[in-house]
Amino acid sequence: MVLLEMSIVPLGHGESVSKYVAECVDLVDQCGLDYELHAMGTIVEGELADVLALMQRCMEKVAEHSDRVTCTAKLDYRRGQQGRLQAKVDSVEKKIGRKVRR
Helices 18-31 & 48-63 angle (0-180, nearest 10): 150
Q: Is 25 helix (H, G, I), strand (E, B) or coil?
A: helix
* Nearest alpha-carbon partner for 5 in 67, 60, 58, 61: 58
Q: What is the pTM of this model?
A: 0.86
Phi and psi dihedrals of 2, rounded to 5? -130, 140
Four-CA torsion 82, 88, 93, 96, nearest 10 degrees: 140
27-65 pLDDT tens trace: 999 999 999 999 999 999 999 999 999 999 999 999 999
- How far, in Å, CA of 62 to CA of 85, rounded? 25
pLDDT score of 68 more than 80? yes
**Domain coordinates of the chain in residue numbers?**
2-96
* Range 2-96 has CATH code 3.30.70.100: no
Burial class of residue 8 in the structure, from the number of CB atoms within 10 Å of its CB (0-12 exposed, 13-18 middle, 19+ buried):
buried
